[in-house]
């Protein structure tokens, strides 16, 4: 098993590399976010251990870039930030687990083992389904009731996020963070416009509505009762 450790603190990185190597893993190291993103993007790793606060690119931005590129390598975030909000942000950014510093090496090792078991038992899904709506992540195609639906790249990303969170209310802030990466003025109505266009494509001319507006909260994609 091959691991990538992304950690800018030399002492911590050396400690992790030594301990993981002695536990039977092949370990590569990256000393900053940009190097870590380059190495992780090249693939070939079974899991990633990364510090949250990195020079160049911080850990959460690094994870977001990997997930946007459909790189699903399991990732364990290490951070001195241990509040509930911090852990939630880490997991929502694409982390599979979150461990607060200082940590016991035995716990870190056990968490890595759990990530590897999870990845081996449940390969990443390449197709998302909600009712008769189907999104293929490999071919980048969408079909509903056997009919192909043409989506623009941003619409596809929006639908993917809604389907991954089907049955849950997705707020405008969540969409702003995960679909647009904060790359526009949050006071504009761009989210409403894209949701409206997406609704026209996936719901118009179909008997059952899947995409719903939850007044005062956000949006929800769900299968009919």
Here the CATH number for the domain that contains residue 162 is 1.10.10.10
Q: What is the mean pLDDT of residues 18-27?
A: 93
Q: How much of the chain, in percent, has pLDDT values that exceed 70?
A: 94
Query: Taking the mean position of all CA atoms in its chain, how far away is CA 62?
Result: 10
Q: What is the pLDDT of residue 78?
A: 93
Separation of alpha carbons 176 and 114, rounded Å: 32
Query: Taking the mean position of all CA atoms in its chain, how far away is CA 145?
Result: 28
As for how many domains the chain has, the answer is 2
Rounded to the nearest 5°, which phi and psi values hold at 144? -135, 125
**CA angle in degrees (0–180, nearest 5) for 8-37-81:** 50
- State the residue range of the domain holding 70: 2-121
Across the chain, the runs of DSSP E, i.e. the strands, are 2-6, 26-30, 47-51, 75-79, 97-100, 127-130, 133-136, 141-144, 147-149, 211-214, 218-221
Q: What is the pLDDT of residue 120?
A: 60
Is there a cis peptide before residue 102, judged by omega within 30 degrees of 0?
A: yes
Judge if 113 and 135 occupy the same domain.
no
pLDDT tens digit sequence for 68-120: 888 889 999 999 888 888 899 899 888 999 999 888 999 999 999 998 887 66
Sign of the dihedral through C-alpha 20, 69, 165, 53: positive
* Segment among 156-160, 190-194, 210-214 with least mean pLDDT: 190-194
Task: Provide the mean pLDDT of the chain.
Answer: 89
Q: Which of 66, 94, 121 is the last residue of a domain?
A: 121
Q: Which of 56, 87, 121 is the last residue of a domain?
A: 121
Judge if 216 and 146 occupy the same domain.
yes
Residue 210, classed as helix, strand or coil, is: coil
Quick one: tokens of 204?
Answer: 């118009």
Query: Taking the mean position of all CA atoms in its chain, how far away is CA 107?
Result: 23
pLDDT at residue 121 above 60? Answer: no
pTM for the predicted model, two decimal places: 0.55
pLDDT tens digit sequence for 145-180: 999 999 999 999 999 999 999 999 999 888 888 887
Minimal CA–CA distance to 159: which of 16, 105, 144?
144
Q: What CATH number has the domain bearing residue 58?
A: 3.40.50.2300
Long-range contacts of 175-183 (CB under 8 A, 24+ apart): 175/218, 175/219, 177/92, 178/64, 178/92, 179/154, 181/64
pLDDT at residue 216 above 90? Answer: no
- Show the DSSP H helices in the chain as ranges: 10-22, 33-41, 59-68, 84-92, 105-121, 153-164, 172-178, 190-202
CB 8 within 8 A of CB 31: yes
Q: How confident is the model at residue 220 (pLDDT cuts 50, 70, 90)?
A: very high
Separation of alpha carbons 96 and 92, rounded Å: 9
Judge if 69 and 83 occupy the same domain.
yes
Judge if 100 and 141 occupy the same domain.
no
Q: Which of 58, 89, 121 is the last residue of a domain?
A: 121
């Amino acid at each position: 098993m091959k691991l990538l450790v992304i950690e800018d603190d030399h002492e911590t990185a050396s400690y992790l590399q030594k301990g993981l190597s002695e536990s039977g893993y092949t370990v590569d190291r990256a000393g900053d976010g940009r190097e870590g993103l380059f190495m992780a993007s090249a693939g070939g790793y079974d899991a990633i251990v990364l510090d949250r606060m990195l020079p160049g690119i911080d850990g959460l931005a690094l994870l977001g870039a990997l997930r946007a590129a459909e790189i699903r390598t399991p990732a364990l975030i290490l951070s001195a930030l241990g509040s509930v909000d911090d852990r939630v942000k880490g997991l929502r950014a694409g982390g599979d687990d979150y461990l607060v510093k200082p940590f016991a090496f035995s716990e870190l090792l056990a968490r890595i083992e759990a990530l590897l078991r999870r990845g081996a038992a449940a390969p990443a899904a390449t197709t998302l389904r909600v009712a008769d709506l189907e999104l293929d992540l490999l071919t980048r195609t969408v079909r509903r009731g056997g009919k192909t639906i043409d989506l623009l790249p941003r619409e596809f990303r929006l639908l993917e996020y809604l389907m991954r969170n089907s049955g849950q209310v997705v707020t405008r802030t969540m969409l702003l963070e995960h679909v647009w990466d904060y790359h526009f003025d949050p006071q504009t109505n761009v989210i409403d416009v894209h949701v409206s266009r997406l609704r026209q494509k996936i719901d118009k001319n179909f008997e059952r509505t899947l995409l719903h507006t939850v007044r005062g909260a956000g949006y929800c994609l769900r299968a009919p009762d």
